[in-house]
Structure 1
């Protein structure tokens, strides 16, 4: 299952009394589907997988599958130790998920070959396709990436490290391996704000990317994606300068803001997402104000672009003077 285009990683909303708000989650997923991503990845990093118990996880995956209603594939996060990952994988399959994102194993650091053993162990316990998430203590080398091709249900690698040179080596090793599955194997840019590295990853053949911004500003995220695909470098540069770079600067001020700030943005958009669960911390009020200002600047860029387009169209479609 090789994915293309923009990917959505929905948030998990919590009520003030610390339960999952499935009604808000269903609304959030519906909004994400309407934005037109090529797949949903629920209960993953942005969805606070590590903070969920099994019943909550089951409810979240089932709700996403119901709301998506077959319009796009639904992947569910799984991870922890090998047995834990298998258990959540079975729950996801029972809920009707189309695939899995296998998060790094809990705490344990090993070799790339050891990581392949971990992936194979989890894959042996589920029929679902698996996307392997490379980040933190889960790091592949070219030989390990090629070895994943021998696990029939492993469909690709999502990169969260940001080492473009190392990623180029993985992509090249797989594509030139001569393996029957080499061409269909997928690679995803999964950095926290992947828009900043879109050009670098596209240059090595990785065009699909996850977008946390899609969770709270789908208008900006989809406009940026269209501009990248259309080669509209003026709009891409303006959005990077006015929105994405300031957003990343704010995100980097506090560990965990890659999730917490996104949740705050969704609240600014009118969805009662509630707080993040520990050990994450919610953004300070001053940071929420900064986020609101950054959103305003991003939408001002879109408004200017729309205005400029509207001015050009009449000039090119009006009557020709005699």
Structure 2
């Protein structure tokens, strides 16, 4: 009980070795006023982890800002939770960098939005794994922005990201959307992706596009599909391409259609090819035509046959030309008929 009777001056006279030797019962005797009188060196020598919540709450912002990094990092998550906004605002960048994800998880959304831009920027992606759904959503709602950089967002948990509504996800900047990892992109819902504006949608990196779940692909609106960049379209895997329905396919622009790879076109069955508007079929490059399956060619509708350009017909392989039915051949105009390569006629049953 003696330690609790010392004045601030008497306490300051104690050396770090003496303070380091204090046991838990002695530490418990320290009053709030005594705690406030401790110097940075004394705090460094103290067994801070044994301080009560009340004692931790008694630390002044000046004491915190002057404390050694290990003093702050040694606080348990429960102790760290006691710190108020003024104490948190006093944390130096080095102290911020020393925090564990469990400590960061104790900062509530009200306190989080009061941290300086520099403090927020000092947090690493691994530290941000501690942020929960409520912290993230409340911060976004309060700031109408995500106060983290492109390199930090990879630390946000997929669970927290998946719980955001479309408005909250739109508070992310283009750079932050670009910074999402493939795992995070896979966690996005159809409602979230459909709610992104054109620029933010295009910010999803091409190598992350293939991470979009099959369920989400089937729910993308034609309008959103039409906003994807050619690079993103090219990045879609064949399974994703096969999942696109007729309405979605009609959302593809001419430039997007021209960007389809031979593997993607070959993956499209006759139903999907016929789902394209005739004008869309006519938009395909001649280099893409040989990738059409024989089944797709033999099932082209009259409208699609009429839409084929002479140069597209010329690009047909012998096998594709042979796949054309007599009904389809009879629909060809003279110009279209003349465009078919002479060598391809050898395989045609007249």
Q: Which has the higher helix share?
A: 2
Structure having the higher strand fraction is 1
TM-score (ref. length: structure 2): 0.28
The normalised TM-score by structure 1 is 0.29
Larger Rg: 2
